Structure 1
C-alpha cells in the first residue's frame, strides 16, 4: 500500500493519504475482522510503503528511521493503526530501505562535514581525486573539502557501508524499535544491493555478502520475534532469486509476475511445473542456512507472488491493453481474471498491489526536459508517480477520503475504474473479494503447497493444493468455451464425487462460492469459459 495514495483520513487541503485514512477503511474494505462477512478483501498482511520522514513523495530516501512522516500522521496514529489491525487479525509490515539513506539524513550530513566523525565510516566516502566512476558522486563539505561518495540508485541516496559493524548494529536497533511497537516484520528494499556496486549481475562474493548479512539480520530478529515476516526485494530471474534464497526466508517473486503476463499474452505449457520446481529448489537452499538454534527452524522459504507493483511498468491492466493490440487471445477483462485466478489460487502468499483489485491503469511517465539530448520528455519531472496514482474510490473521482496529492494521468471520471464501479456484480473487485474470502474460509487451500499437476497446457491449468490431509483441486480453463474435466480409474479417481466449492465464468463475469453448501460432483466437473473451479476431495 502506498499510504499517500490510499485514503485521506483528515480530508485536508493537501489531499494526501494518511494513517487515519487506512484505519477508516479497515471496515469494511480491507478486513472487518469477521470471516463470516464477504464485503471486505480479507487482507491478512498490510505492507506499507515507507512511512518515515523523507524529502521525496515516495519515501525511499529516509531522513529519520524512528519517526513517522508528518504528511501521514503521528506516532500515535501509527500505534492506533497497529492496534486496530491486530484486533482484526491483520499483521502490518514496514517497507524499509536499509541499503541507503537520504543525503539529508543527519548521519550523512555529519559524515560529510566532520572528517573525524564515526559516521563517515557509515558510508563510502573518499577524497575527490578527479576520477569519475559509475555510482560515485561529488560533494563539497562546509569546510570546502571536496569528496566523493557512492550512491547506486541516486546522488540523493548514499549507500550505507555494511562492512562497518556499527551500521549493522544500528540497523538491528531500528528493527527492534519498530518490532517493539508491534510491527510484524519488514519488506527489505533493495536487498540484493547491500553488497555490489552496479546493476549488472553480481559476482559471487557480493551475493555471498548479501546472504551472510541477511542471515545475520534474520537470526537477530527471530531470536526475539520468531514470527516476524522478513521479505526481501530481490528482483530478477529465477536464478537470481535462488542465489539469494538462503539469506532470507521470503523474497518477492518477480518471475511469477513475468510468467503470468507471458502466459496470458501467449498461453503455453509447464507454468505450474516450473513454479513447483523453483519453490522446491529455493526451500532446499534455504534449509541449508537455517541454524538449529533458532526458535523457528521449521519455517520454509516462501516466495511472495505478485502480478503488479509500484515499480513495474506498466500496471497490469495497461499491459493487457497493450497485449490485446498485439494479439492476446482474451479481452482485457478476461486476461485480468486469469491473472487473479493464478495469483490467488496458486500462491500461499499472494501480494495485491493497491489498485490491482479495481484494474487501476498506469504507465511510467517521461518527465525529462523537452530539450534533452537523450530521451526528451514533456519537462514535467514526473516519472514513477503515474504507477502510484491516487486510489480511485468514486466513479466521479470525488468524495470523502479521496486522495488528491497528484492529478491522475490514467484515471478519469466514470471510466469504470473505481472501488464504486468495480464492486458491482461483474466487477473485478467483486471477483477478487470472492476469491480472498474463499481463501479465508479454507485456510488449507490458501496456505497449502502445490501437489500433483494433472494438466499444464495452453488449454488447462490444473493442480492440487494440499495441506496435511486436506486436498483441493484447482481447474483453470484457458479457452473461450466451457468444458468438462473428467476423472476415471486411471486419472485422479480420488476426485470422483468431490465437493464443488467455487466456480467463476470469466466470459460472463459471474462467480459463486458454494462452499457453505457444497455440491458433490460425479466423474466430471464443468469449468466455464476462461473459468475457474475449485473442488475438495472428500475424506
Structure 2
C-alpha cells in the first residue's frame, strides 16, 4: 500500500503538541548524563530593581521560564566580586558581586530553583585570581611575603625570551604572559591577561585554599556543581600530566564533600588533548562538536559532524566508560550561532535540531532560543535578553547599548511565544522531544553503512529496545533517500518532507525523526 506523508514544519509542531494525552511519552529529566543546561550571564538576563543590571532576583522571577523551555539546570557565568563586567578576575571567592544582589538573594534563587527541579552550576575560576585579590596584593609587596608563593614569579633576565610571546592559542589572544607589577625585577605569570595572575598549584597551600572554596559553595551555600574555567591551564601546557593529576585530586575532594557533585571542565582543544581530563572532570565541553556543526552547515557536508561525533565518543570511551559529553552550539566566548550561519533561519533551526537529537548533554546559551545575535568583542556576544517589546520590557538590562540584539533584529520572547514557527517554540518542541524518548537522550550513536547523498546526515539512536532514525538534509537542494525498514512513525519533522513507499524526499534544510515500531 502506497503512503504519502507531507509535513511542513508548522504542521509538524501542531501534530507533536496535539497528540492524545495517553499516547504522549512522559517527559523525563536526564540531567546530568543527557539533560539540558541553560547558560546565563546574570548581568544581561533580567533586571528586577531598575538599576540597568540583571540580578539574582531577576533570575528567580524567570525560573518558570527556564522550566517552560525545558532546561534541567542553569550554569551561571561568574557571580563573585570582580572589577570587570565579565567577572573572570575574582577578588573574593566566598562572596557574590553586589551588583547581582546579596548572598541571601542567591540562596533564595537556589531554593526556588531546586523546588522546580532545576540544578545550579556556578563558574569556578581557579586558574587565576584577579590582580585586586588580597592574595595578590600581598604577594606583590615583596619576595618575603607569605603569599608570594601563591603565584608564579620569575626574574626578568631569566624570561627575556618569553616577554613578547607571539603565539596565539585557541583560548587566548594575549601575546604577553609575563607581567611587570612595577616593583622591581620580578615578573608574574598571567596566561590570559595581566589582570589575571595565575595561581601556583605546586604550592600545597594554594590547593588547600581551592578545596576549601569548593567546600564553601557546595556545603555552606548548596550549589550542585561547578563549571571549571581554563581547566587546561592549571599547570603550563608542557605539564599535561600534572594537570590530569590535579583534577583527579580535585574531584576526589569535591566528591568527599558532595557525592553527587557535578563537574564540567573547559578544555579548549581537540579530542586528543581533551579526553585525558575525563578521569578528573567527568563532563567536558565538546569544542569539536561546536566547530564541526558550523562547518557542516556552512559547507553542506552531511556526514561530517556525525562521523566526527562518532570518532569523539569512541575515543572518550577508550579513556573511561563513564563520561558526560557536554555539547553546545555556541557560548559566551563564540560569536552567536545565528551570525555564524549567515543569519539563515532554516540553517539555524536545523543546526539546533541536530544538536538536540545527537548524543550528549547539550548546553544552550541564553538568548539562542529567541535568535539573539552577537559578534566579537565579547561584550556584544553577551547583550541583554529581549523579554518583550522595548516599550513594555521593564526588566530588560541596559548595562550596554546593544549592537546586534535589538528590537529591529530580534523578535522578543513574548511575541515568539504566540508564533508556532518561532525559534522559541522550535527549541521548546525539540527539548520536549528529546526528553520524551530515552533513545534520543541516552541512546548510543550508530551510523548508516549505506552511501548517502553528500548533503545528507543520518544516524540511529538506540537504547533499551527503543530505536530512532534521524535524517537531515543540510543542503539547499532537495534530495531523496531510502528509509530503513521498520521506520514509519514520524515523531518530528522540520521543513517540507514527503514519505512514499519507503522513500523520503527532503527539501533544503529539512529534517525528519522516525521511531521504529
Per-residue deviation, residues 58-98 of structure 1 (Å, max 9, x unmatched): 00000011111111111111111111111111111111111
Moved more, 129-138 or 169-178: 129-138
CA–CA separation in structure 1 for the residues paired with 2:190 and 2:128: 8
Structure 1, unaligned runs of 5 or more: 32-39, 197-201, 288-299, 322-330, 365-382, 508-519
Aligned to 1:233: 266
How far 1:416 moved relative to its partner?
Answer: 3.6
Per-residue deviation, residues 429-488 of structure 1 (Å, max 9, x unmatched): 12011101212223442232213435665332221222222222222233446666534x
CA–CA separation in structure 2 for the residues paired with 1:126 and 1:271: 44
Aligned to 2:473: 477
394 and 427 in structure 1: CA distance in 2 versus 1, 3 angstrom threshold: same
Does 1:250 find its partner at 2:292?
no
Per-residue deviation, residues 487-509 of structure 1 (Å, max 9, x unmatched): 4xxxx43x24x4322222279xx
How far 1:128 moved relative to its partner?
Answer: 5.0
Aligned to 1:108: 136
Aligned to 1:30: 66
Contact 2:373 2:404 in 1 (8 A): yes
486 and 457 in structure 1: CA distance in 2 versus 1, 3 angstrom threshold: closer
89 and 526 in structure 1: CA distance in 2 versus 1, 3 angstrom threshold: farther
Aligned to 1:343: 355
Contact 2:493 2:513 in 1 (8 A): yes
**SS of residue in 2 equivalent to 1:346:** coil
How far 1:409 moved relative to its partner?
Answer: 1.0
Q: TM-score, normalised by structure 2?
A: 0.83
265 and 131 in structure 1: CA distance in 2 versus 1, 3 angstrom threshold: closer
CA–CA separation in structure 2 for the residues paired with 1:444 and 1:9: 40
The match for 1:486 among 482, 490, 513 is 482
Contact 1:214 1:247 in 2 (8 A): yes
The match for 1:415 among 401, 409, 413 is 409
Aligned to 2:42: 3
How far 1:125 moved relative to its partner?
Answer: 2.6
Contact 2:350 2:494 in 1 (8 A): no
Moved more, 89-98 or 232-241: 232-241
250 and 262 in structure 1: CA distance in 2 versus 1, 3 angstrom threshold: same
How far 1:226 moved relative to its partner?
Answer: 2.9
Contact 1:397 1:413 in 2 (8 A): no
Aligned to 2:516: 537
Aligned to 1:151: 190
CA–CA separation in structure 1 for the residues paired with 2:340 and 2:229: 25
Per-residue deviation, residues 226-265 of structure 1 (Å, max 9, x unmatched): 3222111111223322344444212111111111111111
The higher relative CO (CA closer than 8 Å, separation ≥ 6) is in 2
Does 1:125 find its partner at 2:153?
yes
**SS of residue in 2 equivalent to 1:352:** strand
Does 1:317 find its partner at 2:338?
yes
How far 1:6 moved relative to its partner?
Answer: 0.8
Aligned to 1:138: 180
Does 1:396 find its partner at 2:390?
yes
CA–CA separation in structure 2 for the residues paired with 1:225 and 1:130: 43
CA–CA separation in structure 2 for the residues paired with 1:208 and 1:397: 55
506 and 80 in structure 1: CA distance in 2 versus 1, 3 angstrom threshold: farther
Contact 1:242 1:281 in 2 (8 A): yes
1:159-308 to 2 correspondences below 5 Å: 159-180=198-219, 181-196=221-236, 202-203=237-238, 206-268=239-301, 269-287=303-321, 300-308=322-330
Aligned to 1:80: 108
CA–CA separation in structure 2 for the residues paired with 1:128 and 1:529: 59
RMSD (CA atoms): 2.5
Contact 1:92 1:183 in 2 (8 A): yes
248 and 286 in structure 1: CA distance in 2 versus 1, 3 angstrom threshold: farther
Per-residue deviation, residues 16-46 of structure 1 (Å, max 9, x unmatched): 011111111112x210xxxxxxxx2111121
259 and 216 in structure 1: CA distance in 2 versus 1, 3 angstrom threshold: same
Q: TM-score, normalised by structure 1?
A: 0.80
**SS of residue in 2 equivalent to 1:117:** coil
The match for 2:440 among 439, 445, 460 is 445
Number of equivalences:
460
Contact 2:76 2:123 in 1 (8 A): yes
